[in-house]
Structures are given as structure tokens and as C-alpha cells.
Chains A and B, each alone.
Chain A
Amino acid sequence: MEFDWTADQIAFREAVIGFAHKSLRDDVIARDAAGEFNRELWRRCAEFGIQGLPFPEAYGGGGNDPFTAVLALEALGSVCRDNGLLFALAAQMWSVQMPIHRFGSEDQKRRYLTRLCSGEWIGAHGMSEPEAGSDAFSLQTRAERRGDEYVLNGTKTFVSDASVADVFVVFATIDRSLGPLGITGFIVERDSPGLQVSGAIHKMGMRTSPMAELALEDCRVPVANRLGREGRGAQVFNDSMEWERGCILASAVGAMERQLADSITYARQRQQFGAPISQFQAVQHRLVDMKVRLEAARLLLYRAAWSKQHDRDPGPAAAIAKLAISEAWVQSGLHAVQVRGGYGYAVEYEAERDFRDAVGSLLYSGTSDMQRNLIARSLGL
């Protein structure tokens, strides 16, 4: 494996950092309190090319390889403090755009991938249900073929960005008795008859990426909007989940770098007992642990992205990356709070928001427990 960046990748990374400094700074504290998504920041990201990073130029994408996309998202995380925005970008990229790119028809790519890459539309992913979380394939949303359309009935929950999304990738079953082989994917536009976004879900963190439920009541979806073959939705979902597991925490690695740099700055300035607290071993060890976790997380991220780029069977690399990076981010967030003492607990100093945001990473794209199950399976257990 070769992880050296090319000169072009280094230059691109610097450009992303410059863009984030210039265009992605706003009052995240206020928007976090209000649970408010910032569409203007989304538009700026699209204009820069973030949403289109790994997708073909034919659909308005940047034509970059997955590794470069991951480097860019990491770079964003190292500057932009809006973890919810970065999560929304990554969630759309890996769980909406990627399945349309890999399994969609040419017509679907032109109708949806183009608009998602341009930022004109926002995409969200509807899989989880009230009775089907980790056990995703026990979903109950039904899809019945009637002539040239499908009629969907059911409820999707924990849908990130549902309240701001224009289009959804939704999974339903055509026949529950077939188990996973009955699951089928669909692209459902927001104004589809029978689709309603409901039940805003107020969360512990990532509040600038609003979450809600989808109610599908005789929701009519044209056959042309079926994503992939009938009964192959589980395959579509598994494929997108592998991209998510491996790549969705790229910005978290950047955030950990930012947390470490900010914590070192704080520790050098903060004086207690007549000295900067950076001179106290307890504080130093905490910062060292943050550094070690950051470097390990970065290598695991790059390995997972490299595997996807080279279309190698990643084995458990994606699950290992997701598990390790999420748990490292939470620990890093907690240490950043502790380095600041009481100030770390105060909203004004933002460390507490980073910590709250990190906790969600233990749960989305497959919980840490599910990642451990996947890794156990790869060990033949």
C-alpha cells in the first residue's frame, strides 16, 4: 500500500482547507442550539465541488478517486467546526449518491446524480424503521408492483436530513417471506404522492444535520425509479454501507486533528499553579493519547479508502476503520473537554459540542456492536 500523496493531492488539500477557512465559518453554536441546517454553506460546498468529488464529470462530479475524496473530507474536518454539515455531506455522498452511481440506470444518474453533485438537491437515505435498526433486513415497509409503478407503505426513522432533503433512497420489501432477497431499493422524490416527512427527532449531537421520519402511505413511485433489480436492494444497501463504514468518518479524523491543535494551544496558554498546564504530565499524556489515536485513525481511514480505490476485497478494513475511528473520536472529544476543565463543559468553548457530535458516530452507519459482529465474522467466529 502506498499512502504518499501526490503533489496534486497536496495542492487540492490546501485548496480545500483554504475554502473551509474562507467560506465555512459561521455561528455554529447558535445553529446547533436551534437544530438548524445551513443551506447556504451546502451551496458553497457544492460550488467548490465537494458533493461531486468522487463522481464522474459526466454527472457534474469532479472525477476524483475515492482516496482523494476522503483526503478532501478529512481536510474539511480539520477546519470546519460544523460537524453536522460535514456529516450531511458524507451521508449523501456514500449512502445516496454512491448507490445511484453504482446501481442506478443512466436515466437515474442524469436525473438525480447531476442535481445532487451540483447541490441543487439534497439527498437522504431511508433504511431504518422503528422495529428495524441494526436488524435492518427485517424491515417492514412494503412495495407492491401495480402496473408501471410501485406503491410503498411503511415508516422510516432516523432519516438524517429528511426535513431538508429533496430526494430519498428508500428500501422496501416486495415479499417478506424472501427475507433479504425481497428487499428492493427506490429513489423517491420529496413531492411523491403519499410521502410525508414527519416526526422531527431532536438529538444529542449533529444538530445542524436535522433528523426526522418518513411516512409512506400508498406512496407511488414509478418503476423507472426502482434502484437496481427487484430483490437486490440488500446488495445495494450492503454496497453503500461498505462505502459508509470505510469513508464516512474522514471528516472526524480531520476534527480530531483540529481538537488536538486547539487543545495544545489552550494548554500552552492556560496557567495554573504558576505554569502553563501544558507542562503538567497529566495534561501532556492526555494530549499524547489524542495524537496516538489520531494517527492510528488516519491510517485506518486511508487503508479503507485505498481498498475501495483499488477495488480490492477490503475484508474487514471498513468495519475496523468505522469502529476504531468512531471510538477514537469520542475519546478525543472527551479529552478535549477535560483539558479545558470547566471551560470544556461550557457551550461557548465548543469542545462539548464536538464531544456530543462524536457520540453519534458510535451509532450511525452500523453501531460499534455491529462493526464488532462483522469483524468477528471475518475471523470465522
Chain B
Amino acid sequence: MTNPSPLPSVKQFILDHFLEGEDPSRLTATTPLMTGGIIDSLGLLEVVSFLEKEFHLEFEAHEVAPANFDTLAGIETLVKRKQSQRGSAS
């Protein structure tokens, strides 16, 4: 069974918590979140916490890096990889 794309819920979380009042269409899969100043280090904690709770995952410290979290696309790739690893392990 394939997992649904995490993109919609992650996008909504970021819109609700960091871009309130902004035009949702301006947040794309490649909008720079961290390097673009939308999410700072504390905001990153909130995103990680949301993802862990929403998708029942646990991220290692080295995974929480701009390479994975700077865009919605990067977050989606990471979440799908973790879900796939969990599926293989079970």
C-alpha cells in the first residue's frame, strides 16, 4: 500500500504557522523555506515535531538539515524515504 503524498498537509502546516495571510499559491514545492527566511531554527523544530506526529516517524539529528528541509519537495522526499524504510523493516 502506498502512502499518500505528505505534501498537502506539510504545505498547510507551513501556511498556517509561518505564512499566515499569505497567498497559498506562492508557496511552491521549491520555495526556499530555510534559506529564504520563512523558517528559522526554532521553526524547524516545529516542523520536525509536526512531521513526527503526523506521519509517525522519528528523524535523526543528521537528517534535520537544510538539504532535506529547505523545500517542500525535499521534505516530501525525506518523509517518503522514511516511510518506505519503515515499510521494509516491518
Contacts and interface: CB of A to CB of B under 8 A. Distances in A.
B45 interface: yes
A229 B64 CA distance: 14
B20 A180 contact: no
Interface in A85-105: none
B8 interface: no
Main SS of the interface on chain A?
A: helix
Contact of A137 (B19, B21, B41): B41
Interface string B38-54: 00011011001100000
Contact of B61 (A178, A378, A379): A178
A380 B37 CA distance: 12
Contact of A180 (B19, B21, B22, B45): B45
A159 interface: no
Contacts of B45: 180-181, 234-235, 238
A348 interface: no
Contacts of A378: 20
A380 B18 CA distance: 6
Contacts of B48: 181
Contacts of B44: 180-181
A379 B48 CA distance: 21
B61 A235 contact: no
Contacts of A182: 61
A380 B61 contact: no
A230 interface: yes
Nearest to A179: B41
A231 interface: yes
A175 interface: yes
Interface string A229-242: 11100110010000
Nearest to A174: B61
Interface in A186-232: 229-231
Contacts, number: 32
Interface string A122-141: 00000000000000010000
Given A380-B19, A380-B20, A380-B21, A230 B61 contact: yes
A223 to B, nearest CB: 17
B41 A180 contact: yes
**Interface size band for A:** 10 to 19
A380 B22 CA distance: 9
Nearest to B62: A178
Q: Choose among B18, B45, B49, B64 the residue with the greatest number of A CB atoms under 10 Å from its CB.
A: B45
Contact of A235 (B19, B21, B41, B49): B49
Contacts of A179: 41
Contacts of A175: 61
A180 B42 contact: yes
Contacts of A231: 61
Contacts of A230: 61
A137 B18 CA distance: 20
Contacts of B20: 378-380
Nearest to A380: B20
Nearest to B42: A180
A181 B42 contact: no
A229 B58 contact: yes
Contacts of A235: 45, 49
A242 to B, nearest CB: 12
Contacts of B49: 235
A137 B61 contact: no
Interface string B13-28: 0000011111000000
Interface string A13-48: 000000000000000000000000000000000000
A132 to B, nearest CB: 14
For the complex of A and B, the 6 pairs showing the least CB-CB separation, nearest first, are A380-B20, A231-B61, A179-B41, A180-B41, A181-B64, A234-B45
Given A230-B61, A235-B45, A380-B20, 8 more contacts: A175-B61, A181-B61, A229-B58, A231-B61, A238-B45, A378-B20, A379-B20, A380-B19
27 contacts: A137-B41, A137-B42, A175-B61, A178-B61, A179-B41, A180-B41, A180-B42, A180-B44, A180-B45, A181-B41, A181-B44, A181-B48, A181-B61, A229-B58, A231-B61, A234-B42, A234-B45, A235-B45, A235-B49, A238-B42, A378-B20, A379-B20, A380-B18, A380-B19, A380-B20, A380-B21, A380-B22
